[in-house]
A and B are shown apart, each in its own frame.
Chain A
Amino acid sequence: MDLRRAMDDAADRAVGDRPVPGTGPLVERVLRRRAVRTGTTLTSGAAATVLVAVAAVALADAPPGWVAADDLGGWTANRLEIDGELECGVVVPGLGDGEVVDDDGAGADALRLEAEFRAVEYDGTDLVDAGPDLVRGQLLALDASVVNDTGVDLVAADRYGTSPTAWLAQGGVVVGQVEGPVVALGGVYLPSPGAPEPVLALPAGSARNLDHQGYVADCDRSGAPPPAGEYELLVTVRLEDVRAEDSDAEPHDLTLVTGPFALTVLDAPEEWLSPYELSGYPPGLEDVEIAPSGVVLHGGWRGPRVLLPIGHPIAELGVPTAVVVWDGEYCAGTSEPGRWVPNYNTEVRSDTPYLWPTVQDGRVTRIDGALLWTTAPIYVGRGQGTLRDAQEAVPSLALTLPADDAGIEVWTTYDAEHGTTVAIEIDTTQSIARGGAIVNVAVVEGDGYDGPVPVGPAVCDGDGDPAP
């Protein structure tokens, strides 16, 4: 047999003249994806170009004095000098009192961070420059460089990729943070056997450019931007295991810092649309999560929004950006055609996220979903992770249905605030060491859980949703 010819023939016969799917839905998906709320590494060419073009006019003065230019064994670094990590609530010395600890120029020949920033916004397809002031809901784009003027060739570990972040402070206290880049696998570095560890090379005289864009979130953990007002902005980058390239000296973990810059946060105009409203489509499934209140869109655009509330009259959701819509043709040919279906691809597959509503008496009474993830580490409600992850996040989870013949068991917890039960279906045959893998998450109206329900095309064989 001629392997190439047999494969060619097999592919030709299988694909044949099948019609090419429409481009429109693909464009929709691309636009949704471009509207993702976290700026992990949004290296939009347009945005990057804008940043370079306007950088010179964006900056406040950047007195370096309140950072320490420590001698680290033949070289120095402008690093943040506080006890512990920079985080919400930390008091940063030298901030808030309008004074500079030391502005004699120390650190000019150190390993240091230089940074510029701009507000950028999503215009429906791309990120565009929006000026030096940050309107609530815009992204903050950081253009930072690690500059090595020590005269020593340095290297740092680069296990997760190195990215700058920024902090907002008022009165010397950190009150907000630019959402950080997502670290894959929950921050667990898995080296490949025999492969060299990733290294960030910082040769003497070099300036290593690092970009990051993200929403600014208030430290109240609501996910909303900080209130309008005047803030001081610090830009930092965390470097691990920094050492001279050709030495056996002890490596250092450093937080390089620059700033403070003056940043004005403004309220968003009432008429502003969210990114997905602007695009005319519902948000991508990768950006929503199932929460006790229903389907929630988290993120910086005015904070979290419940897009599909449990118990809500569903007929009021009939707008183009709703996450579920009425499809009169769904289940056509059955005794009860028409269903409320996701405003996404309704084909439920094993390897793509899905979201499926159950509607009774014109109200959403249950939402099932799986694999709603990618924008956050393992998190209960996103249908990803293991039983142990779920228990750590929600200690009140209790075993409600023991494993059935297929090895599926169900853990639930009642959320009194919203009057809903969150049910997590666990496949006990997977991820056994961690108690089984989450395969479905459901939020159900009331206190109780009856069991799995049909989703996708299978609803046509089950009890039909009532017509609107």
Chain B
Amino acid sequence: MRRRGEERARALHAQIDELLTLRGAALRRYAFLLCGDVHEAEDLVQDAVVRVFSRARDGQGPQVLEPYVRRAIVNGSVDRWRRAGRWREREHLLVAPDRVDGPERASADRLDVLAALAGLPARQRACVVLRFYEDLTVPEISERLGIGKGSVKRYLSMGVRALQDRLGSVSGADAHVELIEEGAS
């Protein structure tokens, strides 16, 4: 029995390795936009991989597995945001997490958009990232987040408005807001 277990463990290792080698960077970029912190993004990806592979995925390749992992990442990001509040009072006993901002100055747009995204509640942020970074449609976002299409439209509308309040007009987003408002009426 132990030998069979070891063989399965090796197969599992190869399966995860292939997924992360081929798609790991893309998954971390995706997670980073959802949470705004590279360390947390790595944790989100790892947690998602653990969650997805907790069920047997024998023989499934990266193309099949990636959507599951992405779904787990976005759900994990919303859950973390929800739970974060209970932690703050204990932080004085811990070492503050280090941040990524390096000495080099990045473009203003990049910093601005990160700051603007950071100001959005988790679901709004998830909707914005899924719509404008992942290019998902409203029904696809609805399906991935497990919320109604109307909620997606509302979150997108609120999220885009909040972004525009901070960033000014953003190309591509105006048309989406109009589309959403038409659809909501």
Contacts and interface: CB of A to CB of B under 8 A. Distances in A.
A458 B93 contact: yes
B133 to A, nearest CB: 5
Interface in A194-238: none
B55 to A, nearest CB: 7
A27 B41 contact: no
A124 B1 contact: yes
B16 A12 contact: no
A351 to B, nearest CB: 5
B72 interface: no
A3 interface: yes
A452 interface: yes
A124 B113 contact: no
Contacts of A34: 54
Contacts of B169: 1
Given A9-B110, A457-B95, A126 B56 contact: yes
A7 B128 CA distance: 10
Given A3-B171, A15-B28, A125-B8, A350 B55 contact: no
Contact of A1 (B20, B53, B86, B112): B112
Contact of B94 (A44, A348, A408, A437): A348
Contacts of B24: 20
B38 A18 contact: yes
A71 interface: no
Interface string A278-322: 110000000000000000000000000000000000000000000
Interface in B129-185: 129, 132-133, 163, 167-173
B64 interface: no
Given A4-B133, A20-B21, A126 B8 contact: yes
> Which of A1, A43, A351 has most chain B Cβ within 10 Å?
A1
A358 B50 CA distance: 29
Contacts of A11: 29-30, 32-33, 133
Interface string B5-38: 1101100110011001100110011101100001
Given A26-B46, A456-B94, A458-B93, A10 B33 contact: yes
A interface residue count range (under 10 / 10 to 19 / 20 to 34 / 35 or more): 35 or more
B42 A21 contact: yes
A329 interface: no
A26 B83 contact: no
A406 B92 CA distance: 10
Contact of A15 (B5, B41, B80, B132): B41
A117 B173 CA distance: 56
Interface string B87-112: 11111111101001000001101111
Interface residues of B, number: 70
B50 A33 contact: yes
B99 to A, nearest CB: 10
B110 A44 contact: no
A104 interface: no
Nearest to B49: A26
Interface string A332-355: 000000000000000011111000
Given A13-B106, A21-B46, A27 B9 contact: yes
A447 interface: no
Interface string A377-408: 00000000000000000000000000000111
A349 B172 CA distance: 37
Contact of B133 (A8, A20, A29): A8
B172 A23 contact: no
Interface string A430-468: 100000010110000000000011111110000000000
A45 interface: yes
Nearest to A17: B25
Contact of B43 (A43, A126, A349, A454): A349
A449 to B, nearest CB: 15
A429 B167 CA distance: 34
Given A126-B56, A348-B94, A13 B110 contact: yes
Contacts of A351: 79-80, 83-84, 87
Given A123-B1, A350-B83, A6 B112 contact: yes
A4 B109 CA distance: 11
A12 B26 CA distance: 9
B127 to A, nearest CB: 13
15 contacts: A2-B172, A3-B132, A3-B173, A11-B29, A11-B133, A14-B32, A14-B41, A15-B28, A18-B42, A25-B46, A30-B50, A30-B54, A46-B58, A124-B6, A279-B5
Interface of B: 1-2, 4-6, 8-9, 12-13, 16-17, 20-21, 24-25, 28-30, 32-33, 38, 41-43, 46, 49-51, 53-56, 58, 79-80, 83-95, 97, 100, 106-107, 109-114, 117, 129, 132-133, 163, 167-173
